[in-house]
Structure 1
Amino acid sequence: MENNKLENHELMESLIDEYGTDLKRLAYMYIKDHALAEDILQDVFVSCYKNINNFRMESSYKTWLVKITINKCKDTLKRWSFRNLIFKEKVSSININQTTPEHVLIENEEDILLYEQVMKLPIQFREVIILFYYEELHIEEISSLLGVKVNTVKTRLHRARQKLKEMLKGSGMHG
């Protein structure tokens, strides 16, 4: 039993090192709040630790952790208190010289504009864009993570791209 605890502890350290940054970025892109993204990340790894012995190896650890993260984000978005918060932090106030994971994606003005437009998309479109382009997951993986059909993911991705194209045209940026 003691040996199993040691193995689980080492596995957790490895998972945190390997996926922590990506999962924090994913949570931030859902929630749009740094502190909440940190809280969600902690919740994800607490859940992971509690359930590590139940992991059935039907997917990769990354896929499992991404699914936990998405579910924690969706739970947060559903909570009344979150829906009624007014965030003071604006994307335009981001300091590009920062090297936090959220800011690595943003390197110039066009990237900032694209990022702002992605964050304005409804959650069902934003999540497929995030998972497909930022997390580089395949459509089948996204389908499994979100619990929707492959064709639904394709449709949402297509509509999200259309909406982004329209939004970027309106902003003067050509897509």
Structure 2
Amino acid sequence: MINEPEISNSIGANELILNELINLYGDELKRIAFLYVNDLTQCEDIIQEVFISCYNNLNKFKNQSSYKTWLYRITINKCKDYQKKWSFKNIVYKPLIKPVKNYFTESPQTVYENEEDSNQIIDAISQLSFKYKEVLIMFYYQEMTMKEISEVCSIKINTVKSRLTRGRMLLKSDLERRGYNYE
């Protein structure tokens, strides 16, 4: 279990806490942002905004949740803000997530097929409404529990369950419409 940094009111202490939070959660938050926006440059900008916001509000953090939950919430909100922008709504993008390739044990054909499958799934997830995409990404890609998702999203666990179920159904329907093979 990761120990949460202690809060102090001094600026030097806040900088130390921020550095520790960046080291502990930076990569995780970047993965979350990338799954939401599918743009490496934009996700890096979002994470920078997350940590600026974190630094500016460290003294207001009241330990009602963990730093991890707090940073996840900030990240998701920043991603939502980005997706509300006109430029995001009006640009068609292709997801950039690539599967891990193992050229030593898989044939090129298998690697290609796995990459195509992964691209179809990521594209289908990116087309879902935000409330379904959000819980699917946290549950499957971040491997968060329903309780953690509930805390991060500030929704009830039953709402998380219903969104997961509905999101899976919508995803399955979209993939079937695209002719995706489930074997």
TM range (shorter): 0.7 to 0.9
Q: Which whole-Å deviations, capped at 9, do the CAs of 1:95-143 have from their partners, x for residues lacking one?
A: 6579xxxxxxxxx333333323222222111100011121222222222
CA–CA separation in structure 2 for the residues paired with 1:114 and 1:94 = 10
- The equivalent of 2:65 in structure 1 is 59
Measure how far apart 1:166 and its partner are.
2.5
**Conserved 8 A contact 2:50-2:74:** yes
> Under a length normalisation based on structure 1, what TM-score does the superposition of the two structures give?
0.80
- The equivalent of 1:139 in structure 2 is 146
CA–CA separation in structure 2 for the residues paired with 1:36 and 1:124 = 21
Q: Please tell me the residue identity of whatever aligns with 2:171.
A: L
Measure how far apart 1:71 and its partner are.
0.8
CA–CA separation in structure 2 for the residues paired with 1:97 and 1:63 = 28
Which of the numbers 141, 160, 164 marks the counterpart of 1:153? 160
Q: Please tell me the residue identity of whatever aligns with 1:11.
A: I
**Conserved 8 A contact 1:168-1:174:** no
Flag structure 2 segments of 5+ consecutive residues without an equivalent: 1-7, 102-113
- Residue 117 in 1 paired to residue 124 in 2? yes
Matched-pair identity in %: 44
Q: Please tell me the residue identity of whatever aligns with 1:156.
A: R
- Cα 1:3–1:77 change in 2 (3 A) is closer
Q: Which whole-Å deviations, capped at 9, do the CAs of 1:50-104 have from their partners, x for residues lacking one?
A: 11111111111110000000111111122223322343xx23x666579xxxxxx
- The equivalent of 2:105 in structure 1 is none
**Conserved 8 A contact 1:40-1:69:** yes
**Conserved 8 A contact 1:44-1:68:** yes
**Conserved 8 A contact 2:38-2:97:** no
**Count of aligned pairs between the two proteins:** 163
**Conserved 8 A contact 2:132-2:163:** yes
SS in structure 2 at match of 1:161? helix
Q: How does 1:1-175 map to 2 (within 5 A)?
A: 4-87=10-93, 90-91=94-95, 108-109=114-115, 110-170=117-177, 171-174=179-182
- Across the aligned residues of Structure 1 and Structure 2, the Cα RMSD in angstroms comes to 2.6
